[in-house]
Structure formats: C-alpha cells, structure tokens
Amino acid sequence: MARAGRRPGPTNTPDAILAAARELFAERGFQATTIRAVAASAGVNAALVHHYFATKERLFVAALNLPLNPAEAIVNVLAAGPREQFAERLVRFFVSTWREPATGQPLQAVLRSAASTDQGAAMFRNLVENVLLERAAAALGVPKLRVVVAMSHLLGLVLGATILQIEPLASATDDELVELIAPTIHRYLSPDS
C-alpha cells in the first residue's frame, strides 16, 4: 500500500478501490463480488475497504458515482412524515434531486451510461435488483413489480426533462409535477391500492 507520490489523484487508495470495484461489479455482478476480491484487485487490505466504504452496498453506490443511495433515500423519505403523504414527499425529493446540479448531473451521467453501454446497463440493473428493490419493496409493503414500475416512471421523467429537455416538461414547476405525478406514485407504492 505504499503511495508513490504525495498529491491526491487517480492513484490514491479510495480511487484505486473504486476502479477495482467498477471492474469486478461489471464483470461478476453485485452478488458474486466480495469486498475481499475488490481489496485484492486494488492491492489493499479488506479492512481498508470497510474503513472507506463501510458496506458492499455503499461501495457499489460509490462505484456507480451515484449522488445518493436510492434505497436509503426511500427509507428516509418514508420516515420523514405520515405515510399518506409519502408519494408527494418522494416526488418532490426526486424532482429537486434531478434539478439540483450537484445531484442531477451525476444522475444524468448514470442514466446516459446505463442507456448507452452494456456495462452501464449491467451496473444499473445490479443496483436496482440487488440494492434498491428488496429493501424498498419490504419497507413499502408492495410487490417488487410496483417498485420497478414507479422507478421507471421517475427515470422516464428525468430522461425527458434533463437529457432530452422536452418542453413543457423541462420547465414545469416543481408543484405542477408533484400535483400530476404524486397520485400515480401513491397508487403504485401504497399497499392498499
């Protein structure tokens, strides 16, 4: 683990771990990739991977360059107020996430890469199937298919509003979007619907 130089850069330890993680996750998928294998491939001790990224799931989210952990975000939004207004909070949170440059730009990059490269698609599929779906479906008490359909709706909106910049979607107000879309997300993600 000797460092060749003093300046931080693409050769520092967290970046080396992330590069190894991206390669292994893309090649083997989320389930078959271990922290130990990532550490070995990066030439570091597994304890150091845990030190920087805590869990395999967080390492994966970091390797994808995601601005946030979508499973944690759903659980947090769920806990932030009454269940009856969960869909409204989620849509508002999601619209501001894609409109805020610090989170919107990495989100667009992930989406572009998922839509245009096989490796990007595999990473994204792994994220949804292994990190997001199980936990979100359990926390919400709805079947996984409903979670994927709701997520696809939100992804389609990001695509239309930011990458394709289709009007009048791109410049609709947050309130217009919440009013239109929250009832749909409520229907998809409520256990009683």
* Residue 109 in the binding site for its own copies (CB under 8 A): no
Q: By rule CB under 8 A, what count of residues binds its own copies?
A: 41
Tokens of 173: 């107000």
| Window of 33-41, 55-63, 76-84, 152-160 that interacts with its own copies by CB under 8 A | 152-160
* Residue 58 in the binding site for its own copies (CB under 8 A): no
Residues 6+ apart with CB under 8 A from 185: 87, 90, 91, 150, 153, 154
* Residue 181 in the binding site for its own copies (CB under 8 A): yes
Q: How far is CA 29 from CA 76, 86, 110, 124, 174, in A?
A: 27, 32, 17, 10, 36
* Residue 138 in the binding site for its own copies (CB under 8 A): no
Among 15, 100, 175, 176, contact with its own copies (rule: CB under 8 A): 176
The DSSP-derived string for 93-119 is HHHHHHHSHHHHHHHHHHHHHHHH-HH
Q: Give Rg (Cα) of the chain.
A: 18
| Window of 1-9, 46-54, 87-95, 149-157 that interacts with its own copies by CB under 8 A | 149-157
Residues of this chain that bind its own copies (CB under 8 A)? 111-112, 114-116, 121, 124-125, 128-129, 144-146, 148-149, 151-157, 159-161, 163-169, 172, 176-177, 180-181, 183-184, 187-188
